Amino acid sequence: MADSGLLLKRGSCRSTWLRARKARPQLILSRRPRRRLGTLRWCGRRRLRRRLLQAQAAGVDWREGARQVSRAAAAGRPKTATPSPIPSPTPASEPESEFESASSCRRPLLIPPVRPVGPGRALLLLPVEQGFTFSGICRVTCLYGQVQVFGFTISQGQPARDIFSVYTHSCLSIHALHYSLPEKSKKELKREARNLLKSHLNLDDRRWSMQNFSLQCSIVLLEHLKTASVNFITSYPGSSYIFVQESPTPQIKPEYLALRSVGIRKEKKRKGLQLTESTLSALEELVSVSCEEVDGCPVILVCGSQDVGKSTFNRYLINQLLNSLPCVDYLECDLGQTEFTPPGCISLLNITEPVLGPPFTHLRTPQKMVYYGKPSCKNNYENYIDIIKYVFSAYKRESPLIVNTMGWVSDQGLLLLIDLIRLLSPSHVVQFRCDHSKYMPDLTSQYVDDMDGLYTKSKTKMRNRRFRLAAFADALEFADEEKESPVEFTGHKLIGVYTDFTYRITPRNRESHNKILRDLTILSYLSQLQPPMPKPLSPLHSLTPYQVPFNAVALRITHSDVAPTHILYAVNASWVGLCKIQDDVRGYTNGPILLAQTPICDCLGFGICRGIDMEKRLYHILTPVPPEELRTVNCLLVGAIAIPHCVLKCQRGIEGTVPYVTTDYNFKIPGASEKIGAREPEEAHKEKPYRRPKFCRKMK
């Protein structure tokens, strides 16, 4: 029985080999495919033969196009369908133009072709409604057609845009869009396309583009991107992989080499940003309301638990609004994960340019900013509310406002959110939900009216106590002009959004992940100290700091009570906020000048206190804030936001002991431990060897 089975197997292989040998002149089989053909099963051999025949009918070499054509055939019919017959090619008349030849004689481009057009430059052809997902950073210019990146539309003739598809966030995609074609002849369209490409491409590249070009196809130029911020961040160990990731298995394909010269890598579509139907519906409604609003500009408050996609939604919404509006206002109420400023700030910004990357790639100068000093508002809610009211008072209601909130929506965090809704009186509240998020009640207008906040009461209790709306405005300490005509809380429209994505952050690693993002934001801010490209990087210790006299600025530690005798130890080698208070501090002859309370004042920027000269009574401050703004700074605020460890430990050009880095650390001093204001137990007071921080090990 075994021998008969073996004979049957040999017979089937031999008959298949004979059939393949008869078709050899058409299929051009080499020795390796013949060996592979003998090891395949009957269905595999049949599938391979069908692929080769389809490749031959398409007019391409089977070694390059068999896989591509088979994917197209599989996508166009169900798996159980029988293979359709291949029509024989019929002679056609010569096309009138290259557009007709591209659309009639060539098959549609299933995979966007990439062609190198110079050192660090590549050309990408995108058929309509197709996308190109990638990781890395590059500069994108739309030469012909119209594409969309992260919700922002880039058309031909617009300036180039810097795109950051980095490792810490979802990959971005370039999608080709439908665009209106003018009523011109094919020759005129061909002449127009060639003229647009002439200033960017040479003759050979233009010919290649016309050969592969079809109507409703977009041509995109990808260029290598290098900025002072990118060079500065990647110069530190552990941060070099953030922007560009090397492939684990290097490939020799021309497409891979062309993209590698640009600094990007093609990724699978599933790694890109995927928006749910509820997200797209919410975006469409908010854009429509913002563009058609007549009586005023909408105030959109976005809320939800941690890691549900609020920040991603805000960026996408900003880009969508900028397609139709000149600017968008943004109120940052999240202290830990800020979008446009260093962490620990509450700010109001006017956004005029799209955001095409994570927060540490698009820092902006705010209209009004207050330095809170901590990544969380726990144990100091009243000061948090007062700062938001102070910053919100600068909103002029000339453009739509997007309000970003914290991810703390349980217990007191939910009550604090109700206070914010009553204070800001938004027209729309976007509430996010996810499978892994904590339970959160629907924040409808009726629910907010019936619930008490931390500092505000429900409407029912106000009616029972016969409180008037003017008295309620006094309790919230509104401005004088708002007391005369108090704001009526007319309610809001609730928009529910459900997100579904791969959840990689857990409560165990969330804090270290957030700390890495905060450190990257601070590094991006410090990169403003670097000279513009193409000058080389300068170490921070080689830059000349500003000298500030003791009696010119006041000091305040915002996050902890520090004895006056230790105040200068806390300021030295710290991240400081450069603020402007109303009080005049120049009357004091000796210093330092200490404040008894933390003021609510404007913050103009940040810096590092590099050192303190006790003999000359000077602070040495290193900051990118321009000198004309530094003249108005008269207060230094020190909070719990620390300088990244890599800035202190990885200073280039230092020989011997690194400044401000030591293994002799005293945990007995209040504020020296991670728990602010708490002391460590006695067994923790022993000297411990220096260990590398956890986030540095993970980043490597």
pLDDT band at 36 (very low <50, low <70, confident <90, very high): low
266: its two tokens:
């093609």
Higher pLDDT, 671 or 554: 554
In degrees and rounded to multiples of 5, residue 591 shows phi and psi of -135, 180
Residues listed for the chain: 700
The residue behind tokens 């602010």 is 676
pLDDT at 199 over 80: yes
**What is each CA distance from 368 to 431, 602, 603, in whole angstroms?**
26, 7, 8
Contact 608/576 with Cβ under 8 angstroms?
Answer: yes
Hey, how many other C-beta atoms are within 10 angstroms of the C-beta on 520? Answer: 22
pLDDT at 695 over 90: no
Alpha-carbon distance 614 to 21, whole Å? 92
DSSP line for 373-413: -SS--TT-HHHHHHHHHHHHTT--SSS-EEEE--S--STHH
Q: Which CATH class is domain 114-271?
A: mainly beta
531 prior amide bond cis, ω within 30: no
Q: Is residue 40 exposed (0-12), middle (13-18) or buried (19+ Cβ within 10 Å)?
A: middle
Q: At what angle do helices 203-211 and 186-198 cross, to 10 degrees?
A: 140
* Listed ranges 196-200, 328-332, 374-378, 475-479; the one with the highest mean pLDDT: 328-332
Hey, how many other C-beta atoms are within 10 angstroms of the C-beta on 297? Answer: 19
For strands 172-176 and 328-332, give the pairing: unpaired
**Tens digits of residue pLDDT in 383-425:** 999 999 999 999 999 999 999 999 888 889 999 999 999 999 9
Alpha-carbon distance 148 to 623, whole Å? 37
Q: Is residue 651 exposed (0-12), middle (13-18) or buried (19+ Cβ within 10 Å)?
A: middle
Alpha-carbon distance 458 to 501, whole Å? 36
Contact 302/404 with Cβ under 8 angstroms?
Answer: yes
**What is each CA distance from 106 to 66, 100, 141, 622, in whole angstroms?**
16, 10, 26, 61
Write down the H helix ranges in 580-636. Answer: 627-630
pTM: 0.77
Q: Minimal CA–CA distance to 125: which of 250, 219, 55? A: 219
Q: 197-206, 263-272, 545-554, 687-696: lowest mean pLDDT where? A: 687-696
pLDDT at 237: 83
Superfamily designation of domain 529-650: Pre-mRNA cleavage complex subunit Clp1, C-terminal domain (2.40.30.330)
Residue 251 is given by DSSP the state -
pLDDT at 457: 84
Alpha-carbon distance 269 to 173, whole Å? 8
Higher pLDDT, 478 or 163: 163
In three-state form (DSSP H/G/I as H, E/B as E, the rest C), the secondary structure along 253-293 is: CHHHHHHHHHCEEECCHHHECCCCHHHHHHHHHHHHHHHHC
pLDDT band at 467 (very low <50, low <70, confident <90, very high): very low
Higher pLDDT, 218 or 15: 218
Report the alpha-carbon angle 348-497-342, nearest 5: 30
Higher pLDDT, 94 or 399: 399
461: its two tokens:
């209790």
Averaged pLDDT for residues 537-550: 91
Alpha-carbon distance 147 to 156, whole Å? 9
Alpha-carbon distance 352 to 319, whole Å? 10
Averaged pLDDT for residues 590-613: 92
Contact 54/77 with Cβ under 8 angstroms?
Answer: no
Residue 213 is given by DSSP the state -
Instruction: For residue 241, give every residue at least 6 positions away whose Cβ sits within 8 Å of its Cβ, in sequence order, or none.
Output: 167, 699
pLDDT at 700: 30
pLDDT at 105 over 80: no
pLDDT at 440: 87
pLDDT band at 41 (very low <50, low <70, confident <90, very high): low
pLDDT at 369: 97
How far is Cα of residue 60 from the mean position of the Cα atoms in its chain? 40
Alpha-carbon distance 387 to 391, whole Å? 6
Provide the strand spans (E) within 177-216: none
pLDDT band at 512 (very low <50, low <70, confident <90, very high): confident
Q: 106-120, 325-339, 682-696: lowest mean pLDDT where? A: 682-696
Averaged pLDDT for residues 668-689: 47
pLDDT at 619: 95
Residue type present at position 489? F
Averaged pLDDT for residues 505-524: 84
pLDDT at 364 over 90: yes
Averaged pLDDT for residues 220-224: 95
The residue behind tokens 């505000």 is 456
pLDDT at 686: 40
Averaged pLDDT for residues 106-117: 67
Q: Minimal CA–CA distance to 302: which of 490, 497, 488, 441? A: 497
Q: What percent of the chain has pLDDT over 90?
A: 45
Q: Which CATH class is domain 277-462+489-498?
A: alpha beta
In three-state form (DSSP H/G/I as H, E/B as E, the rest C), the secondary structure along 24-50 is: HHHHCCCHHHHHHHHHCCHHHHHHHHH
pLDDT at 211: 83
The ranges assigned to domains in the chain are 114-271, 277-462+489-498, 529-650
